[in-house]
Amino acid sequence: MPAPSRPAARSDFVQANRFSTRFPAGMGPAPAPAASLSAAPVATIFFKSGSSSVNADGRREIRRAVDLVRNRGARVVVKGHASSRTKDLDPLRHQMANFRISYDRAQAVARELVRQGVDQQAIEISAVSDSEPVYYEVMPAGEAGNRRVEIVLVN
């Protein structure tokens, strides 16, 4: 067993969106985002805990993205995310549950994009589980903010 590490200094802490390794520790860093994914999302759809259903607010956000796709003629990247909280699961089951829900959320948004008129050949789906949080999850609002799908346009 490795020796205990020194206590973290204040300068050791970074913003949540800069974490590269998430639960479970030791699984290695998250892959670097593709260059095409570096653009800011044009829409973010939020989900209830454990849900992959797009609600009315989500459909409105998707409509705004569809209008942009039509105006720009761009490809669409749909990127599903999950919060890091699951029921008491072993690390592998935790990882798979979060990957699955992030994938299901991305699929639901992609289906809605197609339903609203985007060519399915222009859509790329990505599921990143809980590896790219934008909020700390010490409070419920942070957890809710990480249960999302981002829509990014790429040329």
From first to last of the 155 residues of the chain, give the pLDDT tens digit.
455 444 444 444 334 443 333 334 333 344 444 444 457 899 999 999 999 999 999 999 999 999 999 888 889 999 999 988 777 778 788 888 889 999 999 999 999 999 999 999 999 999 998 889 888 887 888 889 999 999 999 97
The three-point CA angle 72-17-128 to 5° equals 65
Roughly what angle, to the nearest 10 degrees, separates helices 91-115 and 56-72?
60
Confidence (pLDDT) at 54: 97
Confidence (pLDDT) at 86: 73
Name the token pair of 145. 């903010």
Element (H, E) at 69: helix 56-72
- Contact predicate 27/21, CB 8 Å: yes
Question: What is the residue whose two structure tokens read 């800011």?
Answer: 40
Structural domains in the chain plus CATH codes: 39-154 (3.30.1330.60)
Q: Side-chain half-sphere of 20: how many Cα atoms within 13 Å?
A: 6
pTM > 0.75: yes or no: no
Confidence (pLDDT) at 28: 37
- Contact predicate 16/24, CB 8 Å: no
Nearest CA to 133 out of 124, 125, 143 is that of: 143
> Partners of 151 in the beta sheet?
43, 78
Element (H, E) at 53: none
